Amino acid sequence: MDDDSGVIYPRGLRNDGLPAALSDPDRLAAVRATGMMDTDPETVFDDLAQVAADVTGCARAFITFVDDERSFWKTCLGVPAEGVRERQNSVRESFCTFVVGLEGEPFVVDDARIDPRTRDHPSVEAMKIGAWAGHPILGPGGEVLGSICVIDTEARTWSVSETTTLATLARAVGNELHLRQSLADCQEALETSRELALSFQDSFRPPHLALTPDHVQAAASFRPAVAEVGVGGDFYDLYHAKGPWWCAYIGDVCGKGIEAAKETTLARYTLRAAGSRVLSPAAVCRWLNAALLDQRGGKRFLTAAYATFRSTPGGITGRLCLAGHPPALIRRADGRIQELGRHGSMLGIFREVRLTDVRFRLAPGDLLLLYTDGATDARPKRHPDRPKPVPFGDEALAHALAQCQDMDAEATIAHLNSILDTYGQGWAADDTALLALRVPSRSEHAIS
């Protein structure tokens, strides 16, 4: 059923002409469970809204939660509203009504003044809305809790990269909400705490790597620390940037727990946003450094190894930047191991950073490995009656990688994890993330 604007809502309309989904009991229960309604602003949500504003160039960005009567602005950048009563409007005045009514679909308007869906909406003139783009924030059961949106005073065409960024930021808000609710439940039992905290570590990593360009293999893994309960700070990603270019990165936030997870979230989505605009890894890392200082105040640092690459007739060509991170390793087809990258500054501490792009090429049979220091710091658990355990070390990791000659990316990652697990005797002092890119050998090409 649709309303006067012609928007078709899956559940139809209420008696007052607004989407029936607004009053769905399960959705309302999920909104209440967030504990977000009528609460003060929080830095973690302001940070994500600021990323949305920066990426789109909009002066106004909102994170909104919606019940059956009100649209509450948890964050309202660019709007002089301080008190709880000022940071809300009725659902009839809110564009978020469209997002809730469409039950999980984004709502994007290039010119709100002439679009038949919105031209008669009361907020177009009241809030000076020229263009509006929003993506739903989902609860654990897929319930639409509200939206993250940006508003431009002038009409504009929203780019794919802008709407994609809104989608990833909406997921980040959802992750934060899920994390809080689950950690509250964790207080009931230590074992429950451990299981849920580890599951939320997973929510800050991509569930699987993106499909790579033709004739490029990719594999990654994450092994959580077992030394303590908590959410860690290792992260990685692989995604298409633009044109023939792809981006891969791995990083490590100092510390553990919720604060490290917040830093991880901001880093991942800032890197994605920056990577869609510039192809220099050093420039992307500088962008992240500025975001960390501006949004997090230099309270916590991170290291990262960031690469951009593209396929060529002869394999892969690309550039790598190290931001305080261990060098990447290249395993050549003949088994030789080479370090890649020039040491650069850690991110999130100083405004001025020293970062350098280093070019690389992978020929058929070559493999590039990015890793966090959990790999080189792997060691058995210490016992009072035994000598102090020795870390696995850089040379041992290089040797282990050389042993994987002729293995594809998946097999290489599996083999390295097996060696690390054996060396650590099933115990890990730190989180460990691995990411590999490989060009298949010519014989593999022939078979495929």
Amino acid at 318: G
| Residue 385 to residue 387: CA distance in whole angstroms | 7
Phi first, then psi, for residue 312 (nearest 5°) are -130, 170
| Residue 351 to residue 292: CA distance in whole angstroms | 10
CA 267 to chain centre: 7
Amino acid at 42: E
Question: Which residues, 6+ apart, have CB-to-CB distance to 21 below 8 Å?
Answer: 9, 10, 11, 27, 100, 101, 103, 144
pLDDT at 246: 93
Which helix (H) or strand (E) is 75 found in, with range? strand 70-77
Q: Model-level pTM greater than 0.85?
A: no
- Cα–Cα distance list, 76 to 45, 147, 151, 324, 442 (Å): 10, 12, 11, 35, 55
Coil, helix or strand at residue 89: strand
Residue with tokens 């929080």: 42
| Residue 149 to residue 133: CA distance in whole angstroms | 5
Neighbours of 341 (CB within 10 A): 24
Contact 139, 111 (CB under 8 A): no
**What long-range pairs does 105-109 form, CB within 8 A, spacing at least 24?**
105/136, 106/133, 106/134, 106/135, 106/136, 106/163, 106/166, 106/167, 107/132, 107/133, 107/134, 107/147, 108/132, 108/133, 108/134, 108/158, 108/163, 109/133
Question: Which residues, 6+ apart, have CB-to-CB distance to 198 below 8 Å?
Answer: 224
| Residue 208 to residue 210: CA distance in whole angstroms | 7
Q: For residue 430, with 0-12 CB atoms within 10 Å meaning exposed, 13-18 middle and 19 or more buried, which class applies? A: buried
Residue with tokens 């916590």: 300
pLDDT at 300: 80
Q: For residue 312, with 0-12 CB atoms within 10 Å meaning exposed, 13-18 middle and 19 or more buried, which class applies? A: middle
Phi first, then psi, for residue 176 (nearest 5°) are -65, -45
| Residue 398 to residue 430: CA distance in whole angstroms | 19
Residues of the chain with pLDDT under 70: 1-5, 184-214, 226-232, 257-258, 298, 445-448
| Residue 318 to residue 212: CA distance in whole angstroms | 14
pLDDT at 192: 47
